[in-house]
Amino acid sequence: MAFNRNIYNTRYQIEQKSLPVQFYDTPKDVIQSILDPGNNTFYKLYKILIERTGEEFSYKEEDFTTKCFKFDDGTLGCFVTLPKPESVMLCSNLVYVFSPDLKKLMYFTIETDEFIGRISYKICSVSSEGKHTVHGGCTGNSSDIILKIKEIYTRL
């Protein structure tokens, strides 16, 4: 897919602004929506919001996947794979991490970055106050990302 400013702006707004606010404001509702079998929340959300811009929605439903995980201490998480980002600062993945009682929540983004013409990835988080923090580079491998996120989550 070629770069399209409307799609870029919409994706950026969803990934960096709308989804973190929803998660921190209503975590139980967001988690239930993500875990609802066959719902494919992210496909539906992106489709509606991109089509509202008047742009063609060219992603496929299978471009959006979700898998859940659990850390040894009982912390839970959802790893969301998104369509391949068309530009830097868009996300390849979103990661929701939460304690079973929903008292400790963290929203992570795996964002594309560019270094000397080469696309790379970095782990970032968005706090409940909207603060964006870069936690460093990472591979695109989901297992490696989840391990790094576990380290970050347990430190905070």
Q: Whose structure tokens read 């996120």?
A: 149
Half-sphere exposure at residue 121, Cβ-oriented, CA atoms within 13 angstroms: 18
Q: Tens digits of per-residue pLDDT, 1-30?
A: 567 888 999 999 999 999 999 999 999 999
Q: Tens digits of per-residue pLDDT, 78-104?
A: 999 999 888 888 999 999 999 999 999
Look up the pTM and report it. 0.94
Q: What is the enclosing helix (H) or strand (E) of 11? A: helix 5-13
76, two tokens = 């839970």
Nearest to 14 by CA among 43, 44, 46: 46
| Distance, CA of 98 to CA of 23 (rounded, Å) | 10
